């Protein structure tokens, strides 16, 4: 089911980005709004065994997020060339 985004929620996303914490004022239940792309990446990890995430699942998630951060980092090349 899809629900249309309100103007106030869209404004909050524009200002804050994701993840965005949203509170239902009727119940005080808190939710975290993330993009569908991010959810699709972690969905399989969330349904792992009850005893938590496997080491491989954690490593895969870290690797995917680091690759995305690196791809968006305009200064990455300068970091790689830095010598102490």
73-83 pLDDT, tens per residue?
777 777 777 66
* Domain co-membership, 46 together with 58: yes
* Domain co-membership, 25 together with 55: no
Residue that is written with structure tokens 């914490």 in the block: 21
pLDDT at 29: 93
* Domain co-membership, 12 together with 50: no
- pTM for this structure? 0.48
Contact indicator for 39, 50 with CB cutoff of 8 Å: no
pLDDT at 82: 67
pLDDT at 45: 65
2-58 pLDDT, tens per residue?
889 889 888 888 888 778 888 999 999 999 888 888 888 777 666 655 556 677 777
* 70 vs 12: CA distance, rounded Å: 26
Domain with 53 in it: 36-84
* Domain co-membership, 26 together with 51: no
């Amino acid at each position: 089911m899809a629900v249309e985004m309100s103007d106030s929620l869209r404004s909050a996303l524009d200002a804050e980005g994701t993840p965005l914490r949203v509170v239902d004022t009727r119940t005080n239940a808190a939710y975290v709004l993330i993009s569908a792309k991010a959810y699709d990446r972690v969905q399989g990890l969330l349904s792992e065994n009850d005893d938590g995430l496997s080491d491989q699942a954690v490593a895969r998630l870290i690797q995917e997020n680091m690759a995305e951060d690196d791809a968006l980092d305009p200064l990455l090349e300068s970091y790689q060339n830095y010598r102490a």
